[in-house]
Structure 1
Amino acid sequence: MSNDFPWFNHYPEGVPHELNPEAYPSLIELLDEGFEKYAGQPAFTFMDKTHTYRQIKDHAYAFAAYLQSLGLKTGDKIAIQMPNCTQYPVALFGSILAGLVVVNTNPLYTPREMKHQFSDSEAKAIVIVANFAFNLEKVIGDTQIKHVIVTGMGDMLGFPKKQIVNFVVKTVKKMVPAYHLPGSVSFSEALSRGKAATYTKPDARINDLVLIQYTGGTTGVSKGAELTHRNLIANMEGISLWFQPALKYDIPRKILGALPFYHIFALTVNVFAMMKLGFHNILIPNPRDQKALLGDLKKHRIFIFPGLNTLFNALLNNEEFRALDFSTLKITVSGGMALQAAVAERWYEVTGCRISEGYGLSETSPVLSVNPVSGGQQLGTIGLPFPSTIMKILKDDGQWGAPDEIGEICAHGPQVMNGYYKRPEETANVFYTDPADGKKYFKTGDIGLMQPDGFFKIVDRKKDMILVSGFNVYPNEIEEVISQCPGVLEVACVGVKDDKSTEAVKIFVVKKDPNLTEEAIRAYAKENLTAYKRPRYVEFRDDLPKTNVGKILRRELKES
């Protein structure tokens, strides 16, 4: 790769310009290396039960043998649908070891959404938490799923805690609606059978499909990004290189597993990267349960905190969180949505650790760029492109943008997907081939710019841009400004139809101060925003609709 790119001048010390996306023949070898290297170290802690890397390996290989005993072949699809619990990595690693393609699925999906993903991906098997098995019952007849493994939340907690937790979840809290799935097998039974079965290492190759990661589907039909062993290995290599400068501290590498693993950000940073770096994941099944989350944060002094703006903001407004000991917190990484300056500044004041905002998509495995984690972060940017990654700005006229020119962010690198599963036309629409050198660039749909120093900024999502009397208004900017207005807890901005100016700016505000008025917000906007950017409409809400990951659903607000 050419050394002409300005971002290389700001790379953390020791981080090379290029990485090797073929450092392993497949993810199987990466997993085996981690299992062996960190065998006796803690890997996952869930509800105070800790499993070592060796124990996870034994369970994963047993699960792989069980899947093979069912007659599932290399390349067959298996859906995994559960929150963060120890069964998740066992099922994930076991499926990969068996040579299967994992379909990562949100457990809170409706039957309609489940049916679409399972049918579209042609999944033949599924591992699902019992809480949501009743939804599977409604649609399984319309899918190709033949093998169902059902797990209770406490299945890997050991006797008697397993029995107690599963009883409380099902009988006391009534969180497991009745379901009827003939022929289904419990997760515990699958592991038991797998221990008696024979495992055969599959012929997995570097460019084989290993993960179908569906896009959020908040703007249309959910599409499955085809990710290969090579794509994910590239991101693992990049993450491990990027984190190295901050790994000099001789303290336990506990990483908070609060973001759901069915989301590509946490799947990559928490679950796969740990196999390279020996992280100890503290699993949080429901990050919105602040009482439980704070209980775990008091027990475990976290080293790495992956999160997103809404999670950081919620915790910063909790007195118990602000009183915690943050002396071991050395890395905080943000993704998934724009990080607001007010939140980032408060986080640093409270924890003493600066947030490193990054950027990526399901289609890019996910990391494309990130700020340094050991100093040199630039607030308001998404950082520097990863090693072996080229990012450029494509202007409306089809030309590459110069520094500070605005356009669509495009990326070329080994982490970029092959395409969308069974959707060649949509795949073709999101790639641009540079006529100068023939390189294919993924068009992200995000509007941004590159600073002269090589740091990138996102201006907004292309589809979220608001057109006011011919002027482009970017919701991220409005939210960034209004979030700093005294008394505002959360804010979301959308465009609404307007006969005079095409669209008008509308904001939805959750109050931090109950005495906050619309007049105060308008006065703040007048002081900080030019006239066409100021909100025409202000609506107060008790809360804002969010995805399970915590992203604010602008589309839902726009349609309300």
Structure 2
Amino acid sequence: MQEKLAGPFGSYPALLREWAQVQPDKTSLIDDAGTLNWRDLADMVERLATRLVETGLERGQSVAILGTSSINYALVFLAAVRAGGVAAPLTTSASTEQLAGMARDSGARHLFIDAAKSAEMDEAFMPDMQHIALEDVRGWMAPAGTSAPDFQPDKRDPFNIIYSSGTTGIPKGIVHSHQMRWTQFAATGLSYLQAGIEIRSIASTPLYSNTTMVAFLPVLAAGGTVRIMGKFDCARWLTNAQADRSTVTMLVPVQYQRLMDFAGFDDFDLSSLTLKYCTSAPFSAELKGEVLRRMPGGLIEIYSMTEGGVVCLLEAHKFPDKLHTVGRPAPGSELRVLDDDDREVPPGTPGNMIGRSMTMMSGYKNRPDKTAEAQWIDPETGEAWMRMGDIGRVDEDGFVDLVGRAKDMIISGGFNIYPSDLEEELEKEAEVREAAVVGIASKQWGETPVGFVVLKGGARSCEEICGAVNARVGKTQRLSALYAVDEMPRSHIGKLLKTELRERAEHQTSTA
């Protein structure tokens, strides 16, 4: 199997079938309802794929999935790909209007939906699609022993569509090809086999998130076992990790923070953990350090986008002096840092990051205009790079330090203010657990920075904390206001929603 994974391209469905022949009785998937061995995984994927084709699925057509992550959800995802279709998981936290928009955009004829989401939807929700209950997929699939028509993927065939986590409008569908997924996850699966790691992972973020794929697709590619959690809960995650003797996990920063804050954390045996991954949101150096001290195994932070571009990796356990960075570009990834006139800046200078790699999207589904906007075309070579949307700087060792989101940069009185600089200063205060800074409109300065903090407790007020920080920073950086919140607004995978904070800041300023 190592030889197959080492190849430049292959069939992911065929790889799963081969693993089922090699280790039929080994557990492949686990959820709260039970387990599935590799023999039954392969059989059910074939039967579901057969039924999809029988009911009208065409090559390259999407299969929409809407519900809480489970074994059945995973089976539908894999069966869609096996049948020559495209897995199109939909974001459960989206509004009904957004869900309808995503479903239409995907072009799916089939909608697999669980009872909870079905109860939320109007009876007229997507009536032109065939609705199949996720809880009943085993009754819906073709008879035992059935095999789906042969499907040999082309490198350019779409594998899945991941919908972006935009807070307004209809999310964009990010299309990944079979070649992209093979390049991305065959290499990871191969590294597991070469290291001799027995892969037992926990997928604790939703299967509609690209983040979760790290704990799902490469683990199955390596013949491992995936536990699928329907909803993250510290006690359940710790219990599962201990009981399963989990070796690999992917968690977003807010999940790591919750585990570190969980009262009974140190009572659980996590000694089997070999590799811990993190991605999707800023991961503070302080939190990385705590995770390294208290959780066994290596810690790897992945910086990239669902759309692709540069992929940076920080092996935090190997570079404890670089925890403030997101690491260096991975092999096969390229990074440039440009000024506003698209000229490369010297090392150490903040600028707009662009990147490219072998793991870039095919484009946004039905949105060539948005695809073009997301790209930077090299005027000399015509090659496409992805605009990362971040402002960063590269240090003398090649490590990338993120300054902030390009759209979040504050221009006050003609000076650039990077929110991360002020957030770092706020988090130096003993009372501050977490900080976020946004810019709002100002008649005097054009924009002005406003801060939000989650407090640990202490005697000082926000006004006193703000005063202490403003005394340390330059005049152009000073916060105009600081507000305390019980918790920061976040997306389903823990991304800080600065749009909501900006709206709060504008409201509080207007009513002050």
Does the TM-score normalized on the shorter chain lie above 0.5? yes
Aligned to 1:22: 8
Establish whether residue 276 from structure 1 lines up as the match of residue 214 from structure 2.
Answer: no
Ranked by relative contact order (alpha carbons within 8 Å, sequence separation 6 or more), the top structure is 1
Establish whether residue 556 from structure 1 lines up as the match of residue 506 from structure 2.
Answer: no
Q: 1:216 aligns with which of 148, 161, 165?
A: 165
- 1:471-513 Cα shifts (integer Å, max 9, x gaps): 2222233334433432333333211222222222222222222
SS at match of 2:171: coil
Separation in 2, partners of 1:556, 1:532: 24
Establish whether residue 206 from structure 1 lines up as the match of residue 155 from structure 2.
Answer: yes
Aligned to 1:369: 312
Q: 2:414 aligns with which of 465, 470, 474?
A: 470
Aligned to 2:507: none
Quick one: structure 1 residues 33 and 436, their matched pair in 2 at CA, closer, same or farther if it must change by over 3 Å? farther
Establish whether residue 65 from structure 1 lines up as the match of residue 50 from structure 2.
Answer: yes
Establish whether residue 438 from structure 1 lines up as the match of residue 361 from structure 2.
Answer: no
Equivalent position amino acid for 1:280 in 2: T
Separation in 1, partners of 2:296, 2:430: 23
Quick one: structure 1 residues 231 and 212, their matched pair in 2 at CA, closer, same or farther if it must change by over 3 Å? same
- 1:104-133 Cα shifts (integer Å, max 9, x gaps): 211232211101101122221111111001
Equivalent position amino acid for 1:301 in 2: R
Matches within 5 A, 1:378-527: 378-513=322-457, 515=459, 517-522=461-466, 524-526=468-470
Equivalent position amino acid for 2:137 in 1: F
Establish whether residue 125 from structure 1 lines up as the match of residue 110 from structure 2.
Answer: yes
Establish whether residue 339 from structure 1 lines up as the match of residue 283 from structure 2.
Answer: yes
Q: 2:178 aligns with which of 229, 246, 251?
A: 229
Establish whether residue 148 from structure 1 lines up as the match of residue 131 from structure 2.
Answer: yes
Q: In the TM superposition, what is the alpha-carbon distance from 1:470 to its structure 2 partner?
A: 2.1
Quick one: structure 1 residues 482 and 36, their matched pair in 2 at CA, closer, same or farther if it must change by over 3 Å? farther
Establish whether residue 239 from structure 1 lines up as the match of residue 179 from structure 2.
Answer: no
Q: In the TM superposition, what is the alpha-carbon distance from 1:35 to its structure 2 partner?
A: 3.6
TM-score by length of 2: 0.89
Equivalent position amino acid for 2:40 in 1: Q
- Number of residue pairs the alignment of both structures matches: 499
SS at match of 1:140: coil
- 1:380-434 Cα shifts (integer Å, max 9, x gaps): 2222223322222232122233322322221222211121111112212222222
Aligned to 2:140: 190
SS at match of 2:57: coil
SS at match of 2:407: helix
Establish whether residue 256 from structure 1 lines up as the match of residue 202 from structure 2.
Answer: yes
Aligned to 1:175: none
Q: Is 2:31–2:228's contact at 8 Å kept on the other side of the alignment?
A: yes
Q: 2:483 aligns with which of 539, 549, 559?
A: 539
Equivalent position amino acid for 1:262 in 2: Y
Quick one: structure 1 residues 471 and 421, their matched pair in 2 at CA, closer, same or farther if it must change by over 3 Å? same
Q: In the TM superposition, what is the alpha-carbon distance from 1:295 to its structure 2 partner?
A: 3.1
Separation in 1, partners of 2:290, 2:474: 26
Separation in 2, partners of 1:237, 1:317: 35
Equivalent position amino acid for 1:375 in 2: K
Separation in 2, partners of 1:37, 1:410: 43
Equivalent position amino acid for 2:462 in 1: E
Q: In the TM superposition, what is the alpha-carbon distance from 1:359 to its structure 2 partner?
A: 1.0
Separation in 1, partners of 2:378, 2:355: 11
Separation in 1, partners of 2:286, 2:13: 42
Equivalent position amino acid for 2:205 in 1: L
Equivalent position amino acid for 2:226 in 1: N
Aligned to 2:230: 285
Q: In the TM superposition, what is the alpha-carbon distance from 1:516 to its structure 2 partner?
A: 5.5
Separation in 1, partners of 2:272, 2:219: 18
Aligned to 2:508: none
Q: In the TM superposition, what is the alpha-carbon distance from 1:336 to its structure 2 partner?
A: 0.4
Separation in 1, partners of 2:183, 2:144: 32
SS at match of 2:102: helix
Equivalent position amino acid for 1:432 in 2: W
Q: In the TM superposition, what is the alpha-carbon distance from 1:540 to its structure 2 partner?
A: 1.5
Equivalent position amino acid for 2:262 in 1: N
- 1:515-547 Cα shifts (integer Å, max 9, x gaps): 563145325524654443343222122222211
Q: In the TM superposition, what is the alpha-carbon distance from 1:51 to its structure 2 partner?
A: 1.8
Q: In the TM superposition, what is the alpha-carbon distance from 1:266 to its structure 2 partner?
A: 1.0
Q: In the TM superposition, what is the alpha-carbon distance from 1:374 to its structure 2 partner?
A: 6.1
Q: Is 1:238–1:386's contact at 8 Å kept on the other side of the alignment?
A: no
- 1:7-40 Cα shifts (integer Å, max 9, x gaps): xxxxxxxxxxxx978321x332343344445543
Aligned to 2:509: none
Q: Is 1:121–1:421's contact at 8 Å kept on the other side of the alignment?
A: yes
- 1:423-474 Cα shifts (integer Å, max 9, x gaps): 1122122222223333211112111122332222222111111222222222
Q: In the TM superposition, what is the alpha-carbon distance from 1:296 to its structure 2 partner?
A: 2.3
5+ residue gaps, structure 2, are: 505-512
Separation in 2, partners of 1:540, 1:35: 53
5+ residue gaps, structure 1, are: 1-18, 153-185
SS at match of 1:400: coil
Separation in 1, partners of 2:272, 2:426: 33
RMSD of the TM alignment (CA)?
2.6
Aligned to 1:83: 68
Q: In the TM superposition, what is the alpha-carbon distance from 1:363 to its structure 2 partner?
A: 0.9
Aligned to 2:212: 266
Aligned to 2:27: 42
